Amino acid sequence: MLKLNRVLIVLLTFTMISCSEHTMDEITETTDLNPLAEQYVKLALMVGKHQDYYIDAYYGPQEWQASAEKLPLAKLALMADQLIVAIEETEPESTQQLRADMLLVQTRSVKAFIDQLNGIDLSFDEESMALYDAKSPDFNEQDFDRALADLDKLLPGDGDLNIRMEQFKSEFVIPVEKLDSVFTAAITESRTRTKAFIELPENENFTVEYVNNQPWSAYNWYKGKSFSLIQVNTDQPIYIDRAIDLASHEGYPGHHVFNSLMEKHLVNQNGWIEYSVYPLYSPLSLLAEGSANYGIHVAYSHEQRLAFEKDVLFPLAGIDASKVELYYQIQEVLGRLSYAGNVAAKRYLDGEINRAEAVAFLMKYSLSTESRSNQRVSFFERYRAYVINYNLGQDIVNNYVESRAGDNIEKRWQIFADLLANPKSASMMLVR
């Protein structure tokens, strides 16, 4: 009886607070995951009342969102603890084990975020483990210096690498007046490539907006019913390689596809209501960002990407394609500096360096301009350890898919699509 009583405690707690329509008899008879999943959704929505951008997407019952109260954080922490115990003590059928595991890790993440809102300080690594089920590997300046030495040989000219990089990349900026036509061509191609391997909902669609004054370069706001609003920030120059990056990351086979598949398979077909809410600071984000970055390489081989950009995107943007090979040689080396951003974020948020020092670190080791580096630090300040989800997430998803698919392109797409439709957290993806 202990297991059932624990479940009843958490369900009754939520019933009294969220005005659930379940009667006492109905709750007593409930032993599956559905009631616990419902309480998870309601808990997440209530936490969202304490932080404006905690809920990234929601397409569950509107009355749940409308009735979500801004309860004291101590009360929400108690509710989260009770829900964790109840999930831990369920014995789901084998077909529901992954669902139970994800519900548990997601709820633990909600509890960790409540604790942070309640003033509990976590280091960068502690926060990333608590919220995203992963920790960024340790890198230092020596790891990045080797890449800088290689860039010094590749970049034209002499002197400061940052200045030379900016001068070289300035030839590859998409003119603002041509941005929409270039981005539209990129997203159309990415969509075609994705639909050749993944069956998408018939009504899936999106709208693109160009915005300013944001700490991110682009954002997908998933609205439900397979519709997304994709916003592209034009504060900083957008380079030609970013067209495919953004089209694939935000659209196909990235965030738009990920959310559409979750809604289609998990919410609509399976009735797993917990996937109707997407807390931004959660293990789902590592998969979302990691798969969106890795998806670029699933959709395009290096040769395919080079050919499409050289033949289609460069002419649309009015950019000379004669240096495209050198451009991508440099981009490949820049990829080895990816974790420099994690190092800067960790040191800055842990109080080891100040803002000016974080900007200087990014200028040297990410080779970004002062303006772009300041924008990046603003991202750290708002989203904190979320930064690990892009590069570490990509590496984890890459290893998960490639280790199972090898060089088989169709199998790679199959495993990738299955992962999007049946999400796993970082620790689950690391287990063979």
Q: What digits encode the pLDDT tens for the residues 376-413?
A: 999 999 999 999 999 999 999 999 999 999 999 999 99
Instruction: Say how many domains are in the chain.
Output: 2
Residues 103, 107: Cα–Cα separation, whole Å: 6
pLDDT at 12 over 80: no
**Domain check: are 116 and 163 in the same one?**
no
**Domain check: are 100 and 155 in the same one?**
no
Q: How confident is the model at residue 31 (pLDDT cuts 50, 70, 90)?
A: very low
| 135 in a structural domain | no
The residue count of the chain comes to 432
Percent of the chain with pLDDT over 90: 88
Strand-strand pairing, 55-58 and 218-224:
unpaired
Show which of 101, 121, 141 is a domain's final residue.
121
| 141 in a structural domain | no
**Domain check: are 82 and 192 in the same one?**
no
Please give the mean pLDDT across all residues of the chain: 92
**Domain check: are 325 and 382 in the same one?**
yes
**Domain check: are 114 and 200 in the same one?**
no
What per-residue confidence (pLDDT) applies to 431? 74
Q: Which domain holds residue 112?
A: 2-121
| 131 in a structural domain | no
Percent of the chain with pLDDT over 70: 93
Amino acid at 68: A
What per-residue confidence (pLDDT) applies to 23? 31
| 304 in a structural domain | yes
Four-CA torsion 15, 16, 19, 25, nearest 10 degrees: 50
**Domain check: are 341 and 410 in the same one?**
yes
Segment 341-365 mean pLDDT? 98
What per-residue confidence (pLDDT) applies to 32? 86
Instruction: List, for residues 309-333, the tens digit of each pLDDT value.
Output: 999 999 999 999 988 899 999 999 9
**Domain check: are 198 and 80 in the same one?**
no
What per-residue confidence (pLDDT) applies to 20? 39
**Domain check: are 252 and 365 in the same one?**
yes
Residue 322 CB partners (closer than 8 Å, separation 6+): none
What per-residue confidence (pLDDT) applies to 432? 65
Strand-strand pairing, 218-224 and 227-233:
antiparallel
Peptide bond just before 253 cis, omega within 30 deg: yes
**Domain check: are 115 and 163 in the same one?**
no
371: how many CB neighbours lie within 10 A of its CB? 12
**Burial level of 6, CB count in 10 A (0-12/13-18/19+)?**
middle
Residues 254, 290: Cα–Cα separation, whole Å: 9
What per-residue confidence (pLDDT) applies to 294? 97
Segment 189-207 mean pLDDT? 95
| 136 in a structural domain | no
What's the pTM value of the predicted model, to 2 decimals?
0.90
Instruction: List, for residues 35-79, the tens digit of each pLDDT value.
Output: 999 999 999 999 999 999 999 999 999 999 999 999 999 999 999
| 336 in a structural domain | yes
